[in-house]
Amino acid sequence: MENDFPKNNFLGFENFDANGNKPISSEEKEQMLLLVEEKFNDIFDILRISRNDPNSTKTPRRISKMLINELFSGRFEEVPKITVFPNRNNVNNLIISRGIKVMSVCSHHWQPISGLCSIGYIPNKSIIGLSKLSRIVDWFSRRGQIQEELGEQIADYLEKLIKPKALGVVINAKHYCMIARGVNASEEDSLMTTSSMRGYLLEDLNLRNEFLKLIENTNK
């Protein structure tokens, strides 16, 4: 459903979903850093926080840098360079990477989502380096996200890149919007698990159980 919010921002740049990606130039980034800092100065005024307080003097700048260079960096950076290797020995079993860090921000409240991701696949013609999986997870995580879409984005991307016979992306993460506000959940109660299964891992229950068994102790 279309709503009435403008397609472009006041500078003429296209607005896009919080978990989308459109790379920006270094000039655009500098401008963005300045403008966000300025707006946070206003927010501090509205919240009546004195910037004579030495702990708050430079906080608007810090927040701006944190948002643009860290928490939302995956919105503005090019996709990481990923090398894939030929599956020379025709590996036809599960390859699993566990304990991949997920540091994200929820789109609804801009609170941290912190957790771990496990990725398993049965290769077809291509194999991907383990460190690259971490980089892909980080690139998709460093945006405004909801966990359900994060797992699907990672799975979609890997499916296109290496066309595996089976693929599973399981994320376990704590949601600080549930800990810091709302229901005031404990850390344990704020855990969400999502699973995105493709190919044989979706169709074959035995294989899926094997995968889940192999990753079960990862995220506790």
- The residues that touch Zn ion, with contacts defined as CB under 5 A, are 106, 108-109, 177
- Distance in Å, CB of 106 to Zn ion, minimum: 3
Residue 149 CB, shortest distance to Zn ion, in Å, is 13
Q: Is the dihedral of CA 193, 196, 202, 208 positive or negative?
A: negative
Using the minimum distance from each CB to Zn ion, give the nearer residue, 170 or 173. 173
Is 106 or 133 the residue whose CB approaches Zn ion more closely? 106
Question: What's the min distance (Å) between Cβ of 76 and Zn ion?
Answer: 22
Q: How far is the CB of 175 from Zn ion (least distance, A)?
A: 6
Point out the residue whose Cβ comes nearest to Zn ion.
Answer: 177
Nearest approach, Cβ of residue 190 and Zn ion (Å) = 10
Backbone angles phi, psi at 157, to 5 degrees: -65, -45
Q: How many CB atoms lie within 10 A of CB 159?
A: 16
Q: Which residue's CB is nearer to Zn ion, number 109 or number 163?
A: 109
Q: Which two tokens stand for residue 52?
A: 């004579």
Residue-by-residue DSSP string for 171-192: EEEEEHHHHSSTT---TGGGEE
Report which of 144, 162, 201, 199 is spatially closest to residue 20, judged by C-alpha positions: 144
**Integer Cα distance of 56 and 44 in angstroms:** 9
H/E stretch holding 206 reads helix 205-215
CB distance 138 to 173 below 8 Å:
no
C-beta of 186 vs 209, nearer to Zn ion: 186
Q: Output 109 or 135, the one with its CB closest to Zn ion.
A: 109
